[in-house]
Structures are given as C-alpha cells and as structure tokens.
C-alpha cells in the first residue's frame, strides 16, 4: 500500500505542473483541466506525427523517492516540477508490470501503460537532469526513472494523503516500455 504525496495539473502546455489540493480523473480522458487530457494524444510532438493515436499518457506518476535520489545529486525537485500529475510514496512504480492498476483514493482507477521517456525538456528545466533520471542495469540496459504513464479506467477525485492500492495483472507480466 502506498500513498499520494501531491497532485498537480496545468491547462497549458508547459513542462511543470502546478500542485493542487485535488485533481479529478475522468474515465478515458485523464486529469480534468490538464493540457494532456483527451482520448487521443496531446503531447505536441506526437500530435504532429499522428493526432489520431490513442492517448496512453493521460496520467503521469512519479515516486517521491526519486526526488531524494536527485537531491543527493544536487537537484532540488518538488512535486509537479517534472510534469507529473500524481506524486506517490511507498510504491516501486518502475517495477510494476504493464497493465497494473492503481486504485487511488475512494474510487479513481488508473491502468499503467508504460514508462515516461525522458526528453530534452528535462535538461531545459535543469541542466544535467536528464542524465540524472537515466541509469544502466547490470546488463547495461537503460533504466528510465522519470515516472510512469497511465490511462484512467474509473472516475474519481485524488488528493494528497489518499491511499494507493496496487492490483497486479495475472502472469505472465510484461515489463514497462516507453510510451
């Protein structure tokens, strides 16, 4: 069991999001009032390629434990700074399989679609931050630590302090891939 540390949204297309007292998740759309809400892609680079693609990035989640790791490397990061909608604690988000479901608060439900792929905007926000959100495992494979993405399965309000319950799909599990 984990918990929600912070929730954030922003109506315009900006890198960071503004912390809020609560957000409303809308089934099949994402975060009400957020620039990335919608059934089809809203990230500008993806819209240019094909605006009819399904939006697999309706909700962006980051674990607060990453902020401590980044702080140790000289970066001060606060909730919403990296563009996430939900900052979590107590759940190893990066270890979840594709299709895992997060029950947030009283009724919201998010299904995990994949990893956030860090981009150059992270370095525009803070020079060197992109490299700090990437790592290599013992086999040399790239580890992306800038959070995970999901779609909204059930409506609900989400607030700091809400509990998060993880529902893992039946095996075999598929590891998260960038979406």
Q: What pLDDT digit, counting tens, does each position of 105-119 carry?
A: 999 999 999 999 888
Is residue 43 in a domain?
Answer: yes
**Per DSSP, what are the bridge partners of residue 18?**
9
Q: What is the CATH number of the domain that holds 63?
A: 2.40.33.20
Mean pLDDT of 83-102: 98
Is residue 160 in a domain?
Answer: yes
Mean pLDDT of 76-99: 98
Mean pLDDT of the chain: 96
Q: What's the rounded Cα separation, in Å, for the pair 177 and 75? A: 26
| DSSP letter, residue 169 | P
Whole-structure pTM value: 0.96
The total of structural domains in the chain comes to: 1
For tokens 């990061």, what's the residue?
Answer: 77
Is residue 148 in a domain?
Answer: yes
In this prediction, residue 120 carries a pLDDT of 84
Is residue 178 in a domain?
Answer: no
In this prediction, residue 46 carries a pLDDT of 85
| Terminal Cα-to-Cα distance of the chain (whole angstroms) | 25
Range of the domain at 70: 2-167
Q: What's the rounded Cα separation, in Å, for the pair 69 and 79? A: 14
Out of 89-93, 133-137, 162-166, least confident range: 133-137
Q: Is the pLDDT of residue 66 over 90?
A: yes
Q: Is the pLDDT of residue 23 over 90?
A: yes
Mean pLDDT of 85-105: 98
Mean pLDDT of 115-131: 92
Cα-based angle 24, 55, 83 (whole degrees, multiple of 5): 60
Is residue 174 in a domain?
Answer: no
Is residue 176 in a domain?
Answer: no
In this prediction, residue 119 carries a pLDDT of 82
In this prediction, residue 25 carries a pLDDT of 98
Confidence category of residue 45, pLDDT binned at 50, 70, 90: confident
In this prediction, residue 21 carries a pLDDT of 98
Whether residue 101 contacts residue 167, with contact meaning beta carbons closer than 8 Å, is answered with yes
Q: What's the rounded Cα separation, in Å, for the pair 71 and 50? A: 37
Is residue 57 in a domain?
Answer: yes
Q: For 5-22, how does the pLDDT look when each residue is reduced to its tens digit (9 = 90+)?
A: 999 999 999 999 999 999
Is residue 175 in a domain?
Answer: no
The three-class DSSP label of residue 99 is: coil
């Amino acid at each position: 069991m984990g918990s929600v540390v912070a929730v954030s949204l922003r109506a315009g297309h900006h890198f960071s999001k503004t912390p809020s007292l609560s957000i409303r998740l809308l089934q099949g759309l994402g975060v009400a009032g957020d620039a990335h809400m919608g059934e089809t892609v809203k990230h500008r680079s993806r819209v240019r390629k094909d605006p009819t693609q399904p939006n697999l990035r309706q909700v962006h989640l980051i674990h607060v434990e990453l902020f401590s790791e980044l702080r140790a490397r000289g970066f001060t990061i606060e909730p919403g700074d990296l563009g996430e909608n939900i900052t979590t604690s107590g759940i190893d988000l990066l270890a979840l399989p594709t299709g895992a479901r997060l029950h947030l608060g009283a009724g919201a439900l998010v299904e995990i679609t994949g990893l956030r792929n860090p981009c150059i905007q992270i370095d525009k926000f803070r020079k060197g931050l992109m490299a700090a959100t990437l790592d290599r495992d013992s086999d040399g494979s790239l580890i992306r630590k800038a959070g995970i993405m999901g779609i909204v399965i059930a409506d609900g309000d989400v607030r700091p302090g809400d509990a998060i319950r993880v529902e893992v799909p039946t095996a075999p599990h598929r590891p998260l891939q960038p979406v």
